[in-house]
Amino acid sequence: MAERLGSGLQIRLQRFNSASHLQLENPCFQGLFFYMTEDTSRLAKAWANFLATRVVGMCVDAAVLGLAYVSAFALRLDFNPPVWGWRATATSFVTVCAVHLACLLVCGCYRLAWRRTCGADLPRYVGAMALACATLTAMRFLMPESAFAHIRPPYSITLISFFLGTIGIVAVRVLWRVYWSSRKRDDDLLERRERAFDNSAAAKFLVGRTVMVTGAGGTIGSEIVRQVAAAGAARILMAERCENALYEIDRRMRETIPARGPEVVPLMVDVGDREKMDEVFGKWKPSVVLHAAAYKHVPMVEMNPEEGWRNNFEATKTLADIASKHGVARFVLISTDKAVNPVSVMGKTKLAAEKAIMSMNDSPTSFCAVRFGNVFGSSGSVVPLFRWQIAHRRPVTVTHPDMKRYFMTIQEAVSLVLQAASREERAIYTLDMGEPVKILDLAENMVASAGFRPYVDIPIVFTGIRPGEKLFEEIDVSERSCYKTDMAKIYITRSGEGT
């Protein structure tokens, strides 16, 4: 098998030894130790933040109840002052407010995050307000004398306050959820704004061309299809071997592209099938190939190395050979930061694929590769996993407290890929992805963004570094490693520059 994988590519499936897992050197126990010592402050901070937000929430509720109480008197008395005066009314509100807040607390309303308010929470709030109304009514019944007017309101005021207060309590939560939903963006989780790029060069390059996109049904491939269509390509060949993924991207494109838009051709093919792909290229004659099809999950490729090699390297080499044979003008390999000093099988297969296509740059076809890190929300990133775990109230699993990764949004990554495709260099391009994001911080932000309390409502647990993973990926855009191009955020890797 080592011969098949090429020089320097040694594949060995790593099996965990139960005895070694009991050693502190194991990354899982390092993470657990970190969590039990230094990182206990995160739990304390989470609880402090929870208590602070709930205190603020109770103050807002008190203001809402006060407004409802005053409004009840105004409506009941036709905006005339009560006979016992506003001072006694204000004194009675202290009792009214205390009863309402206590009922909201007893009914568990302060365990609910405002950002997550939904229809299912309505009975809880109505029940709490009804309990407060019943309590105040009982107080009025048991203390009918006017001498107790300062601690219990009249029946009518209690009833009107119930309706107004319930509407107000629910309304502020619904409005907060609407506000939060409108401002919540993926790039907020990245702690930066999504960058916009000038795609005019890419549009000029792609307009009127026949473009093949492999892996067209994937997260990245489907966004490439959309942006290529927007750039004005004449025809888009969507190569995808997964039937459902191909059906979905074909359906979405046919629903969204205008009548005079590009021709969209769904091709259910394996790009590693030389005979079939030769037939496809002969029939459709693409001038640009954007090769996004690949296995991307590091653990899966680590456990299935032969298939990873076949799909990531051999299929790429086959596709590149056919592209060169049919005179394709530009061939772009979507690569990864894991190809830099790779330790995983996936990274090694992508590096081998890079070397294979760069060695073919003595042909008329211009070959290049584009390296970038994790695409936020793509099927290969941790984000969908975290979202599923949060939605199902499962513990969020982070491999190591110090794990960091580079992230871009899908739109950013694809925009830069198309810009790189429009260039003339036969090179390996590296995208500047900014500062790496700590996965633990990302997990905490996603839990909080969903309206839960990290470590309190949803635990965050450390599972240990998996085979083939690094603590830090390596994207170096310094002058020592790269040439800066005239396009923002696009660099040419010195060691990978072609002829």
* Torsion angle defined by CA atoms of residues 231, 232, 237 and 243, in that order, rounded to the nearest 10 degrees: 60
Q: Which domain holds residue 62?
A: 40-183
pTM: 0.68
Compute the chain's Rg from CA coordinates. 31
Per-residue confidence at 194, pLDDT binned at 50, 70, 90? low
- Are residues 61 and 55 in contact, defined by beta-carbon separation less than 8 angstroms? no
Q: How distant is the alpha carbon of residue 53 from its chain centre?
A: 25
- Are residues 42 and 454 in contact, defined by beta-carbon separation less than 8 angstroms? yes
Q: Is residue 31 part of a domain?
A: no
Instruction: Looking at 6-39, list the stretches that DSSP marks H as alpha helix, in order from N- to C-terminal side.
Output: 27-36
Residue 380: its pLDDT value, please? 65
- Can you read off the two tokens belonging to residue 457? 């409502």
Query: 304 and 435 share a domain?
Result: yes
What span, in angstroms and rounded, lies between the C-alpha atoms of 15 and 30?
19
pLDDT one-digit tens code per residue, 299-352: 899 999 999 999 999 999 999 999 999 999 999 999 998 998 899 999 999 999
- Single residue among 152, 183, 214 that ends a domain in this structure: 183
Q: Please tell me what DSSP assigns to residue 472.
A: B
Exposed, middle or buried, 86 (CB in 10 Å: 0-12/13-18/19+)? exposed
- Are residues 328 and 497 in contact, defined by beta-carbon separation less than 8 angstroms? no
Containing 491, the helix (H) or strand (E) segment is strand 490-493
Query: 154 and 253 share a domain?
Result: no
Q: How distant is the alpha carbon of residue 499 from its chain centre?
A: 38
- Are residues 496 and 428 in contact, defined by beta-carbon separation less than 8 angstroms? yes
- Are residues 279 and 269 in contact, defined by beta-carbon separation less than 8 angstroms? no
Judged against a pLDDT cut of 70, whether residue 167 lies above it is answered with yes
Angle at 412 between CA 411 and CA 418, to 5 degrees: 85
Judged against a pLDDT cut of 50, whether residue 403 lies above it is answered with yes
Q: How distant is the alpha carbon of residue 463 from its chain centre?
A: 20
What span, in angstroms and rounded, lies between the C-alpha atoms of 358 and 278?
21
Q: CATH number, domain at 379? A: 3.40.50.720
What span, in angstroms and rounded, lies between the C-alpha atoms of 127 and 449?
27
184, 276, 296, 338: the active-site residue: 338
Residue 222: its pLDDT value, please? 95
Query: 418 and 475 share a domain?
Result: yes
Residue 12: its pLDDT value, please? 33
Query: 214 and 147 share a domain?
Result: no
Of the ranges 119-123, 225-229, 261-265, which one carries the lowest mean pLDDT score? 119-123
Query: 201 and 65 share a domain?
Result: no
Is 338 considered catalytic here?
Answer: yes
Nearest of 395, 497, 466, 382 to residue 14 by alpha carbon: 466
Q: Is residue 15 part of a domain?
A: no
Query: 245 and 134 share a domain?
Result: no
- Can you read off the two tokens belonging to residue 15? 């099996």
Mean pLDDT, all residues of the chain: 83
Residue with tokens 């590149």: 320
pLDDT one-digit tens code per residue, 49-72: 778 888 999 999 999 999 999 899
What span, in angstroms and rounded, lies between the C-alpha atoms of 365 and 437?
37
Nearest of 389, 386, 390 to residue 405 by alpha carbon: 386
What span, in angstroms and rounded, lies between the C-alpha atoms of 234 and 87?
77
- Single residue among 115, 148, 183 that ends a domain in this structure: 183
176 φ/ψ angles, rounded to the nearest 5 degrees: -65, -40
Residue 105: its pLDDT value, please? 93
323's CB contacts (< 8 A; 6+ apart) are 281, 289, 331, 365
Containing 348, the helix (H) or strand (E) segment is helix 345-358
Residue 180: its pLDDT value, please? 74
Residue with tokens 């390092």: 30
Query: 261 and 173 share a domain?
Result: no
Query: 268 and 150 share a domain?
Result: no
Q: Is residue 105 part of a domain?
A: yes
pLDDT one-digit tens code per residue, 31-51: 444 444 445 666 677 777 778
- Are residues 485 and 492 in contact, defined by beta-carbon separation less than 8 angstroms? yes
Query: Domain count of the chain?
Result: 2
Q: Is residue 314 part of a domain?
A: yes
Single-letter amino acid, residue 77: L
Query: 162 and 244 share a domain?
Result: no
Judged against a pLDDT cut of 90, whether residue 125 lies above it is answered with yes
Q: Is residue 30 part of a domain?
A: no
What span, in angstroms and rounded, lies between the C-alpha atoms of 362 and 364?
7
Query: 217 and 171 share a domain?
Result: no
Instruction: Looking at 77-113, list the stretches that DSSP marks H as alpha helix, in order from N- to C-terminal side.
Output: 85-106
Query: 428 and 447 share a domain?
Result: yes
Q: Is residue 473 part of a domain?
A: yes
Nearest of 384, 464, 481 to residue 430 by alpha carbon: 481
- Single residue among 183, 207, 234 that ends a domain in this structure: 183
Nearest of 72, 131, 73 to residue 101 by alpha carbon: 131
Give the residue with greater pLDDT, 314 vs 454.
314
What span, in angstroms and rounded, lies between the C-alpha atoms of 135 and 337?
64
Judged against a pLDDT cut of 70, whether residue 371 lies above it is answered with yes
Residue 490: its pLDDT value, please? 87
pLDDT one-digit tens code per residue, 352-365: 999 999 999 999 99
Give the rounded percent of residues in the chain with a pLDDT score beyond 70: 83
Query: 272 and 246 share a domain?
Result: yes
